[in-house]
Structure 1
């Protein structure tokens, strides 16, 4: 099902600024037994993105009602929520009194081998770099051309790519966040210049804090990837994937990765409530 501003539809006005300029935001949520998982966390990030871009956030009752409508009866699936600034005249200047466009789309849940969650995935280093722009850092805006170009770099058995920024610092995966296991602690890249502040990333960091596991946020170089005792990736749909192969070289999967998956209820993949 696809709803556009609350009505079944498959088209948008060509004047919509999401189409014209990528002027908008999106959230991707798991649907589990007819409910969006971690919706309040996603709503908080969407709200932060709206404040950053100056896009009016639809009322919570309206979004809740439309989300309930599209998720009803879906046992396992994916909900993509897109919010654009709406239609506007030609030109970059944001129109006054913008009427945001709401797009809700439900798709089947992706199917990944269970072994990817237990034993790990193969990852490559992408040549496409992320541009630094603190004003767009951490939010999930619609401009994803860097990720499109990065994902076009492979068409083989690699499951994910790690992206660096224009200064050479490691930032994230093409579709995921990245953690390094270093001894009994964790490290994850600082996202103040670019990258997406993932929902599952936040959950892992909160769990680490509750359990007294050191988790340091900061600059990470390519060399740090090789010095780490292990690596793992996170996002709402995959949950946690250990990295078992980086750039063609085998990497260990520390027991801590499995412990984190179990503690977050991710033994079957994905984000649990």
Structure 2
């Protein structure tokens, strides 16, 4: 069940067919978990959004306005997910961006997805995707509106027992899940793939790296992941999810994963995630 949707501050679900977000994917979005009207990772989401706007030469968003509208669309939802979408707004036909863009702003609230306790205790099943991410450093890290690679990857499996798919880049390096970032403990060291060529630099990933400054960003291949002692996924919406298996390779949730789940709870997220 969804909550309210605001478009440029007005309760409606209509946007112009000439909006550049629809025509060209010319924009950004953030998906933010709220708990009883509070968003523990709000500041991280805003830092990424502001940085991404600067990179795309979009006007800097009004963070307080976005927060006010985000809180408004979560009214009546104890556990909510808010999607904030910013586009370059209306423009003439053609790729050339308007000289003085007036951004379109869409803020929508939804019920948070239900994840069972066993998923957080025992872990989730994951598969390898055949879809590969194309390197593009100019767009790497940000949550821009073009998610076609992820759409194609997610279409590769229909097994309800598989929660996520892992993506490699065109050089065969592991990047992330379709909607999560990936961490592993290899030879006692917490590692995560780089996302400076492609993929999304998740805010949950940033929180993990801040909490564990000893973690290393590395080039990771299938064979490296296969010998990991722990593997887990991070998501600003779903939290810290242990990986039980990647296809036929089985893992057991370990102390690093459990410590990060408790950290997630300490941030203000629900206890069922630990």
1:99 Cα deviation after fit: 0.5
Deviation readout 1:225-265 (Å, 9 max, x if unpaired): 10211210000111111111111332232222112211332
Alignment of 1:233-272 (within 5 A): 233-265=233-265, 267-269=271-273
The equivalent position to 1:163 in structure 2, one of 167, 171, 177, is: 167
Q: Is the CA contact (8 Å cut-off) linking 2:7 and 2:104 kept in structure 1?
A: yes
1:198 corresponds in structure 2 to: 202
1:62 Cα deviation after fit: 2.2
Alignment of 1:177-196 (within 5 A): 177-196=181-200
Q: What TM-score comes out, normalization by structure 1 length? A: 0.94
1:58 corresponds in structure 2 to: 61
Q: What TM-score comes out, normalization by structure 2 length? A: 0.93
Q: 3-state SS of the aligned residue for 1:268?
A: helix
Q: Is the CA contact (8 Å cut-off) linking 2:226 and 2:249 kept in structure 1?
A: no
1:74 Cα deviation after fit: 2.5
1:126 corresponds in structure 2 to: 129
2:142 paired with 1:139: yes
Q: Is the CA contact (8 Å cut-off) linking 1:169 and 1:220 kept in structure 2?
A: yes
Which segments of structure 1 move beyond 6 Å, counting only runs of 4 or more?
none
Cα distance in structure 1, aligned partners of 2:243 and 2:65: 40
Alignment of 1:205-224 (within 5 A): 205-209=209-213, 214-224=214-224
Deviation readout 1:72-121 (Å, 9 max, x if unpaired): 34311110000000011110111111110000011111001111111101
Cα distance in structure 2, aligned partners of 1:208 and 1:61: 30
Cα distance in structure 2, aligned partners of 1:62 and 1:223: 46
2:118 paired with 1:95: no
Farther off after superposition, 53-62 or 238-247: 53-62
Q: Which runs of 5+ in 2 are unaligned?
A: none
Cα distance in structure 1, aligned partners of 2:116 and 2:68: 34
2:85 paired with 1:82: yes
Question: Structure 1's 256 and 65: CA in aligned 2 closer, same or farther, altered over 3 A?
Answer: closer
Q: Is the CA contact (8 Å cut-off) linking 2:139 and 2:198 kept in structure 1?
A: yes
Q: 3-state SS of the aligned residue for 1:261?
A: helix
